[in-house]
């Protein structure tokens, strides 16, 4: 049973997350032949203060870009 785990910054709408899950499921199924009902998708949202790029949190990068 395939398990697709998506980690992303928090802030997407419920509708966007549902579409992500549908699209990933459809694509995986089409490519591998696995039935959609056997594909699991988890979307984990990470707060901006818990995600870092080049050693700086995204929250800090946001503050820096605001001037």
Q: Write down the catalytic residue from 2, 16, 18, 62.
A: 2
For 62, the token pair is 């946001």
CA distances from 46 to 16, 32, 34, 50 (A): 16, 29, 29, 6
Whether 2 is a known active-site residue: answer yes
> Which residues does the annotation mark as catalytic?
2
């Amino acid at each position: 049973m395939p398990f697709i785990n998506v980690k992303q910054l928090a802030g997407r709408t419920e509708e966007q997350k549902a579409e992500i899950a549908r699209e990933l499921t459809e694509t995986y199924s089409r490519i591998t032949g696995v039935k959609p009902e056997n594909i699991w998708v988890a979307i984990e949202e990470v707060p901006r203060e818990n995600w870092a790029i080049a050693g700086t949190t995204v929250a800090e990068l946001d503050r820096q870009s605001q001037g």
